[in-house]
Amino acid sequence: MVYTQSEILQKEVYLFERIDSQNREIMKHLKAICFLRPTKENVDYMIQELRRPKYSIYFIYFSNVISKSDVKSLAEADEQEVVAEVQQVITKEYELFEFRRTEVPPLLLILDRCDDAITPLLNQWTYQAMVHELLGINNNRIDLSRVPGISKDLREVVLSAENDEFYANNMYLNFAEIGSNIKNLMEDFQKKKPKEQQKLESIADMKAFVENYPQFKKMSGTVSKHVTVVGELSRLVSERNLLEVSEVEQELACQNDHSSALQNVKRLLQNPKVTEFDAARLVMLYALHYERHSSNSLPGLMMDLRNKGVSEKYRKLVSAVVEYGGKRVRGSDLFSPKDAVAITKQFLKGLKGVENVYTQHQPFLHETLDHLIKGKLKENLYPYLGPSTLRDRPQDIIVFVIGGATYEEALTVYNLNRTTPGVRIVLGGTTVHNTKRHEPPRPASTNHLLCKMKKVRHPCKGFMLDSSIYFQCWYLCVPNSMLSSILAIKIQ
């Protein structure tokens, strides 16, 4: 496994025998080194050998863990006391088992949520993300108990891509497409329904009914569930004026027209249909984007929130979110193009317009992964831990977001996996955010990042250990600002 026979000869090892060979000679002038797998068969062979030893001394090495009972059996068989040593040799050297592998080792990318506090604050318009934003998803379960007029059977429903074909096919589609697909699902159901209600006049009719009833029942449950969920989403969108709110959110996240953004935010703060939560969210987005703008009007907007009757709890979140993810904290520039290519893309997008004003925003994770795949990720911003540099394009990327990921980022990863051959990306995080869950640490906490890191120590550590079963070597890429916190995780 390590040496050739000629190399072993140079170590003065002159004879090679199998433990199960029946025609071995007695050679009491030689010492024996036995290297065995700790299987029951090999242990039995070794017991027989020790009862009638053919060599003067035995040094026994097992290639893995051997049980105490087997060691006891060997000791009982060694009546002539010829065993000098018994050891377990467990090889942990990566190079021994690489089998001339040429692929690039997998890469673990650890990011901090405070580097992009914008994404969790935006309303979402794809099915999965929208359900989580407006209704909340907890272990694939949706609580619909507060829906007006809800039936007892639908107070809690399960949305799982593994056993719900409609959800699996539509989870990444936008709300307009969902409405159309729900209509098609209803029409298919209506076509099948009359057939199932025909009279059962023969044994064949009964047999067909019994065979088709489970499928019909499942389809009935799927239709009822998704019609109820989509209906409630539609009601909340209308009740909270979310189309108009979301359009301004997208402007705050993607455009740089301060005058227009300020005017639109002020207009919505005067709208009675806009809830205090949505009003505070708009001001949070404004505060993050125009934090250092020369014409910053945050004090005036805070006064507008007070006049609207927004509670102090929500007003305090505005300053908290700036402390958590403001320009002083984050290592990235979320709002300004950073090179000529990005500026050109933004200019062309402005000329052509956008296909959907409600889905203009792309999470910062998209740019990070794009640069990583193309080998353009700056090493001064994302230092790595590993035996070599990041010269080769990674094949397997595991992204873990300290502080939580979002379903919009899950959509980004899904699209990158679809459009980038040869690259597989997995997204994980300490939680999955919607806006209500994305509550930044209190301003009074001067060491909020350290506190946050301590809370997530076990999930992050478990993630790395579980994954190391499948991946033999890690590169660790983290923002500079997180190095001390990451090391705290590793040490503990």
5-96+481-491 belongs to which homologous superfamily? Sec1/Munc18 (SM) protein, domain 1 (3.40.50.2060)
pLDDT of residue 340: 45
Residue with tokens 């489970």: 214
55-62 sheet: strands from edge to edge: 27-36, 55-62, 83-88
Residue 66, phi-psi category: left (phi > 0), alpha (psi -120 to 50), beta (remainder) = beta
For residue 3, give both structure tokens. 């040496």
pTM beyond cutoff 0.95: no
pLDDT of residue 1: 53
74-126 per-position pLDDT tens digit:
999 999 999 999 999 887 665 555 555 566 788 899 999 999 999 999 999 99
Contacts (Cβ under 8 Å, ≥6 apart) of 141: 156, 157, 158, 159
What is the arithmetic mean of pLDDT over 122-134? Answer: 94
DSSP lists the bridge partners of residue 86 as 60
Structural class in CATH, domain 127-240: alpha beta
Domain residue limits, the chain: 5-96+481-491, 100-116+363-439+450-457, 127-240
Indicate the average pLDDT of the chain: 80
What is the arithmetic mean of pLDDT over 304-308? Answer: 95
Contacts (Cβ under 8 Å, ≥6 apart) of 123: 133, 242, 245, 246, 249, 358, 435
Question: What percent of the chain is modeled with pLDDT above 90?
Answer: 51
Comparing 5-96+481-491 with 100-116+363-439+450-457, is the CATH topology the same? yes
pLDDT of residue 230: 92
CATH number assigned to the domain with residue range 100-116+363-439+450-457, chosen from the 4 options 3.30.1380.20, 3.30.360.10, 3.40.50.1910, 3.40.50.1370: 3.40.50.1910
